[in-house]
Structure 1
Amino acid sequence: MNHSMLFAAAALLAAAPAAAQMPKGDAAAGEKVFNQCKACHVTTKGVNRVGPSLHAVVGRKSGSITGYKYSAANQKSNVTWDEATLFKYLEAPMKFMPGTKMAFAGLKKPEDRANVIAYLKTQNK
């Protein structure tokens, strides 16, 4: 086996556990978990609070809501909020993105994170 094949095999093996860690989410359960987020966020398009609107956040670039004052860390991160990235971010926002304004400690249970993401996906319309 040559080096490039070994590298490809190692990359596949390294990626497999990360994908397996995200359980399938339930949007109805996620709506209940989202109650923890409502002090700072809403899913209404164009409505920002302490945090930006989370309407259509899944698939959106970080720092892209016009009129919301993001942290420099968020503006410069060049993150796309896909499911995998949100899953990591929601576990520990300040660890994922040092300098973020989001002071929430995070959702420690993988199923809570997956459920919130499933709920947020329903808010993309």
Structure 2
Amino acid sequence: MQRLLMIAGTALLALSVQASAEGDAAKGEKVFRKCKACHAVGPDAKNKVGPELNGIVGREWGAVEGYKYSNALIEMGDGKVWDVETLDAYLTKPKDVIPKGKMAFAGLKKEDDRADVIAYLAQFNAEGATE
């Protein structure tokens, strides 16, 4: 079952990367500095206050092993996937998407910043390699 989810996630990732092409990954890397206190990406990424974000675009909610998600995310996330639209809404104002979630960050107000961060994150597959 996990392998099937991985294959489906990879296919969705390929589609999502195209959808996030309007963002600039290089600029997104700079914007992501705001996120680094709580999140990591790349081959050596580990969970911090928030989960590691490798393969986030196309991944199911609550899917990082070893991370203790909020009950709100678990309850709301059944079958949901972090697609570009959901990530954009979440990065705009996390509490609007998951009202009782753990994320304390207020959000990114600028649409370009959100698109850039999503483009940056979309580069990383589940193992943290860039494609």
What TM-score, normalized to structure 1? 0.78
Check if 1:105 corresponds to 2:103.
Answer: no
Residue-pair matches, total: 104
Where does structure 1 differ by over 2 angstroms across 4 or more consecutive aligned residues?
A: none
Q: Say if 1:23 and 1:111, in contact at 8 Å, map to a contact too.
A: no
Within 5 Å, give how 1:33-72 maps onto structure 2: 33-44=31-42, 47-72=46-71
Compute the RMSD of aligned alpha carbons: 1.6
Aligned residue in 1 for 2:117: 116
**Any unmatched runs of 5+ in structure 1?**
1-21
Q: Which structure has the larger Rg?
A: 1
SS at 1:99 equivalent: coil
Give deviations 1:51-83, integer Å, cap 9, x for gaps: 000011110011111110000111122231011
Q: Say if 1:25 and 1:117, in contact at 8 Å, map to a contact too.
A: yes
SS at 1:98 equivalent: coil
* TM-fit CA distance, 1:96: 1.3
**Any unmatched runs of 5+ in structure 2?**
1-19
Q: Say if 2:23 and 2:117, in contact at 8 Å, map to a contact too.
A: yes
The separation in 2 between residues aligned to 1:76 and 1:56, in whole angstroms, is 21
The separation in 1 between residues aligned to 2:115 and 2:72, in whole angstroms, is 24
Q: Say if 2:21 and 2:119, in contact at 8 Å, map to a contact too.
A: no
* TM-fit CA distance, 1:44: 3.4
